[in-house]
Amino acid sequence: MPNQLGITPIYDSIRIDLIKNAMKLVFATNNKNKLKEVQAMLPQTIELVSLSDIGCYEDIPETASTIEGNAIQKANYIRKHYQYDCFADDTGLEVEILNGAPGVYSARYAGDAKNADANMDKLIQNLQGKENRNAQFKTVIALIINGETKTFTGICSGHITKEKRGTKGFGYDPIFVPNTYTQTFAEISLETKNKISHRSRAVQKLKAYLSNFS
């Protein structure tokens, strides 16, 4: 329903679109690549709306001590301050012999500069001489819809290499080899990565859940 300014808020239009069998949903990110990647994994009946689309330009707090906690914190923030149904994601790389580190601190492992090369160098250094190099990427998506919060977890297991290999991807991709592969995430095509990645596994679960609403 139009508000005093004559504008139909997105929240109302979500309900209207639901009637037409389409759904607009806020994805709490301003990362255009991530938005595109996740949109491509969802059916056309779900249209993702970014943070800038709803006028949210501030840094959303991510101060929880777990990956799941951060995803929920971000989704709650949008629901509370902007009143939209939404989902948020958070990802970390968990290394078995380091008791799950860097985990929730993956982006800042080597400092606040969030430098991917420095993060990888630190991890390679901390694993020097270690036999067990098992690791997993974990993505948690927190969805708030109709007043309910749901979480969806995607895991991609593999191991950490002794040196960086490949130029594709981002973050820890050059030192992570997924199970049953010999190449790192930075050596395989983005198409293949998107089929097996932690993020796509979490998004598939989100997609299955959202199909209940269409």
Shortest distance (Å) from residue 40 CB to ligand IMP: 15
In this structure, the number of other CB atoms found within 10 A of the CB of residue 92 comes to 23
* Interaction mask 5-24, ligand IMP, x per CB under 6 A: --------------------
Stretch that binds ligand IMP, among 16-24, 41-49, 85-93, 203-211 (CB under 6 A): 85-93
Instruction: Please say which residue, 65 or 211, places its beta carbon nearer to ligand IMP.
Output: 65
Contacts with 31 (C-beta within 8 Å, 6 or more apart), sequence order: none
CA 25 to chain centre: 15
Binders of ligand IMP in range 154-183 (CB under 6 A): 169-173
Which of helix, strand or coil describes residue 84?
coil
Active site amino acids: 90
For residues 139 and 131, what is the distance between their CA atoms, to the nearest angstrom?
Answer: 26
CA dihedral for 100, 103, 104, 108, sign (positive or negative): positive
Q: Are 44 and 25 in contact (CB under 8 A)?
A: no
Instruction: Please say which residue, 17 or 96, places its beta carbon nearer to ligand IMP.
Output: 96
Specify the pairing of strand 134-145 against strand 23-27. Answer: unpaired
Q: Is residue 90 close enough to count as binding ligand IMP by CB under 6 A?
A: yes
Shortest distance (Å) from residue 15 CB to ligand IMP: 30
Element (H, E) at 206: helix 198-210
Stretch that binds ligand IMP, among 44-52, 88-96, 141-149, 200-208 (CB under 6 A): 88-96
Instruction: Please say which residue, 105 or 208, places its beta carbon nearer to ligand IMP.
Output: 105
For residues 44 and 26, what is the distance between their CA atoms, to the nearest angstrom?
Answer: 15
Q: Is residue 91 close enough to count as binding ligand IMP by CB under 6 A?
A: yes
Instruction: Please say which residue, 79 or 169, places its beta carbon nearer to ligand IMP.
Output: 169
Contacting positions for ligand IMP (CB under 6 A): 90-92, 106-107, 116, 137, 169-173, 185, 197
